[in-house]
Amino acid sequence: MSILIIEALYEGLIFGADRNITVVDSKGVTSQQHQWPKVLKWPNENTLFGYAGAATLDNKPVHEWLEEKKQSFSQLGSLENVASQLKHMIEKQRSLDEGNRTAEAMIVHVGSFGEKNGHIVPYVYYISNVYKMGQFGYLDCRKEFQCSEEFWRFNADIDPSEIRRNLKVRAKRFEPFWFHHGIDLITFNVLEGSIRASFKLLCENHPNHDIPNRIADWEKHVKMQVLMYAAYYEAFYPKNSQFVGGGADVISIPWPRQ
Q: How far is CA 3 from the centre of its chain?
A: 7
In this prediction, residue 131 carries a pLDDT of: 92
Mean pLDDT of 1-9: 92
Dist. CA 5–CA 7, nearest whole Å: 7
In this prediction, residue 44 carries a pLDDT of: 94
Dist. CA 207–CA 209, nearest whole Å: 6
Backbone angles phi, psi at 13, to 5 degrees: -110, 140
3-state secondary structure of 126: strand
Q: 100-125 pLDDT, tens per residue?
A: 999 999 999 999 999 999 999 999 99
Dist. CA 114–CA 198, nearest whole Å: 34
In this prediction, residue 25 carries a pLDDT of: 62
3-253 to CATH, choices 3.40.50.970, 3.60.20.10, 3.40.630.40, 3.10.129.10: 3.60.20.10
Checking DSSP bridges between strand 119-133 and strand 60-61, what pairing results, if any? unpaired
Checking DSSP bridges between strand 177-182 and strand 48-53, what pairing results, if any? unpaired
Mean pLDDT of 212-228: 96
The share of the chain scoring above pLDDT 70, in percent, equals 97
User: What integer best gives the mean pLDDT of the chain?
Assistant: 93
Say which residues have a Cβ less than 8 Å from residue 192's Cβ, sequence separation at least 6: 180, 225, 228, 229
pTM above 0.85, yes or no: yes
Say if residues 142 and 131 touch (Cβ distance below 8 Å).
yes
The share of the chain scoring above pLDDT 90, in percent, equals 81
Where are the domains positioned within the chain?
3-253
In this prediction, residue 1 carries a pLDDT of: 67
Nearest to 126 by CA among 50, 189, 67: 50
